[in-house]
Structure 1
Amino acid sequence: MTNQSEFLWYIPNDVKAGHRGDVTAPDHNSLDTLTTQAKAMEEHGWKGALIGTGWGRPDTFTLATALVARTTTFEPLIAARPGYWKPANFASAATTLDQLSGGRVRVNVVSGPDALAAYGDTEGDQAQRYARTKEFMRLVRRLWTEEDVTFDGDHFQVSGSTVVPRPAQIGDRLHPKLYFGGASEAAEQVAATEADVQLFWGEPLEGLRERIERLKTLSARLDRDLPPLEFGLRITTLVRDTTEQAWADAEAKVAKMAEGSAGSWQDHRHGIAVGQKRLLDLTGRGDVLDDNLYTAPGKFGGGGAGTTWLVGSAEDVARSLRKYEALGISHFVLSDTPYLTEIKRQGSKLLPLMI
């Protein structure tokens, strides 16, 4: 067990109430409510939070900036989508917030489906989409680490570009980490050469072991010129005082999902990406895989990180997280609802077992 693993939470950032069954706050997306959550993360051991994104939700970067201004250690993991942002515009915005916050910015580069036409973007096939993402990540990093950058790519161009201010340098951290997800072959090629952290959803251990080994092999074959790729897990964790209570509550939640009375669970309505399909396919292998990976939510609308859950006592879930850690995963993004209740419960019960 190392002390290097980091634990983040999740902020849905959704104007619609009832996200994943969280109906506790009528003003669920007000700045005061979200600030209360972010401050609770600071008080209960979380490094920060992934902020949900997609057209039809509030702008992720604006929300991250507001929460940074109202907190002291909270680190937002901010989604950036090539096409929604141009690389130079994003590099400047992110480094400004990073400098103002003393190095608290993290970035999640998103390439999955979205309502592109709604903000004037278009994409070609999968190969074109990931070629554009690769250029975006390479250029943003160059703008953060070099001056007078000239870049003439197939998708993006800049000439004599210097981003001011520079990112906050803290120890060996030269710029915000670039997180990335995606399970297709095209996505893995981008991750292997451009990402700092590859994020996985909650698959069984054996599946992630294979993916990690494949990405390491790809990194070597593609002559990665960055520090070694790191790995992260984004998953729902349902924690209760006892194993029995956790499973009773998990099964009750799924029963409500089956009735259609559990709020909005599906964040990925625009199409089924390869990674999402991998999770949905798990239901054919059984409702519970490994020790306590619950796949049943995927049958009733659970999407993204809500498709599979780790269920159990704090000790049960910590044991499972340690097994992922043993595979080489060192970044964890956890969540459950009600969000504020679970920030506190899992921060006080689960996180101490992971130190």
Structure 2
Amino acid sequence: MLLWYIPNQVQPGHRGDEVRADHNSLDTLTEQAKALEVYGWGGALLGTGFGRPDTFTVATALATRTTTFRPLIATRPGYWRPANFAAAAAALDHLSGGRVLVNIVSGKDNLAAYGDSEGDQAHRYGRTREFMHLVRRLWTAEDVTFHGEHFWVDHSTVVPRPLIKQPRLYFGGASPAAERVAALEADVQLFWGEPLDGVAERIDRLKKLSADLGREHAPLEFGLRVTTFVRDTSAEAWAEAEARVAAMQTDPNQHTSVGQQRLLDLTARGDVLDENLYTAPGRFGGAGAGTTWLVGSPAEVARALKRYQALGITHFVLSDTPYLNEIKRQGEQLLPLLTAS
């Protein structure tokens, strides 16, 4: 699965994107979604967080204006209750011809702004696991009664059913608590752009953890969410990547998650790892998937991604800015190298 990223931001200029007044209008977002279809992408992860346009509403609007575009809808337990979300996602999946993908997010958010709260890490991930477990049951069973520590339903049946048995559940997180949730309930564990040895170690650990915990679902799959900085030649890519980093403002990451801290710690190993994994952006405020970049020519970046694929990565969520321009550039230059037999 080859996906892109649509940031879904109120303010323009996200990570160096083009600054335009209509950057998040339906027409602009539709232009991106349709370009993804034209250039061979499977769909896009849609950013979420209170203070952004509602992600599910945006996904629904884009689904009505496209034919093959698959929205990977980021959502948070607490922002939705499980039965409400299961019903909404099932309806959209049914109406869109089975195109819904779901990314469950447990990271920090402005919880109080929408009347939510949570306790410590154990509470947060306990709630996340319960949310995923109950949503799965509501998509696949009828007359569901469930009384958990965080959520409950009595005699609940979701109609219409998802077109396929259930939308895929993507998940991220690097802490031990997060990895237990992934091993038990996720379909796809997403990693950020770590070096190959770190990704290999995490895949091995999650496979063993799945077996040790008695995972009841199909085997866990793995994905990579990373910035891909592609130019015609290696020299051009590195010159532009270094210039972009030089222009970044130092903005120390606050309240970093375990996964974010893993990326920031990579700078101690060097600015460039595994030939073309660029760690320097993290020193200047790069966060999330923008903390590390895969830099190079199309052939070099494709070769790097195929090394991750050889480790067991089967889902990729790529991006760079300007978003629309890079949808086209990487769709023309990178994707054919990844899909060639």
User: How does the TM-score come out when normalised to structure 2?
Assistant: 0.98
The one-letter code sitting in structure 1 at the alignment partner of 2:83 is A
Query: Does 1 or 2 have the higher relative contact order (CA < 8 Å, sep 6+)?
Result: 1
Structure 1 residue 25 displacement after superposition: 3.2
1:24 CA displacement? 4.6
Would you say the 8 A contact 2:12–2:19 is kept in 1? no
Partner Cα distance (1:205, 1:147) in 2: 43
Q: Output the CA distance in 2 between the equivalents of 1:324 and 1:25.
A: 35
1:333 aligns with 2:317: yes
Q: Distance in 2 between matches of 1:13 and 1:50?
A: 10
Equivalent position amino acid for 1:320 in 2:
A
Counterpart of 2:220 (choices 229, 243, 265) is 229
CA distance in 2: counterparts of 1:317 and 1:302, whole angstroms: 20
The partner residue of 1:317 within 289, 301, 325 is: 301
1:57 corresponds to which of 49, 52, 63: 52
Q: Deviations over 1:128-161 (max 9, x none)?
A: 1100000000000000000000001000000000
CA RMSD of aligned residues (A): 1.1
Gaps of at least 5 residues in structure 2 are none
Give 1:275 shift.
0.3
1:206-355 equivalences in 2 (<5 Å): 206-258=197-249, 271-355=255-339
Q: Quick one: which amino acid aligns to residue 290 of structure 2?
A: G
Long gaps (5+) in structure 1: 1-5
Amino acid in structure 2 at the alignment position of 1:49: A
Deviations 1:166-207 (A, max 9, x none): 0012xxxx2100000000000000000000000000000000
Report how far residue 256 of structure 1 moved: 1.0
How many angstroms does 1:90 deviate by? 0.1
Q: Deviations over 1:17-59 (max 9, x none)?
A: 1100112533111110010000000000100000011111111
Match of 1:3 in 2: none
Whether 2:176 is the aligned partner of 1:190: answer no
Give the whole-Å Cα distance in 2 for the aligned partners of 1:238 and 1:24: 19
Q: Is 1:24–1:338's contact at 8 Å kept on the other side of the alignment?
A: no
Give per-residue Cα distances to partners, 1:240-288, cap 9 Å, x unaligned.
Answer: 1000000011001101114x7xxxx99x76x211000000111111110
Q: Is 1:67 the equivalent of 2:62?
A: yes
* Matched residue type, 1:336: D
Q: Matched residues in 1 for 2:28 and 2:52: separation? A: 16
- Structure 1 counterpart of 2:32, from 34, 37, 43: 37
Residue by residue over 1:299-330, the C-alpha shift from the partner in whole angstroms, topping out at 9 and shown as x without a partner, is 11100000000000000000000000000000
Q: Choose from 8, 15, 39 the match for 2:10.
A: 15
Structure 1 distance, partners of 2:127, 2:225, is 24
| CA offsets 1:180-235 (integer angstroms, 9 cap, x no match) | 00000000000000000000000000000000000000000000000000000000
How far, CA to CA, are the matches of 1:55 and 1:95 in structure 2? 23
Measure, in 1, the Cα distance between the counterparts of 2:73 and 2:191: 17
Q: Identity of paired residues, percent? A: 72
| C-alpha separation in 2, matches of 1:282 and 1:17 | 29
Partner secondary structure for residue 20 of structure 1: helix
Cα distance in 2 for partners of 1:18, 1:153 equals: 42
Indicate if the aligned counterparts of 1:7 and 1:46 stay in contact, CA closer than 8 A: yes
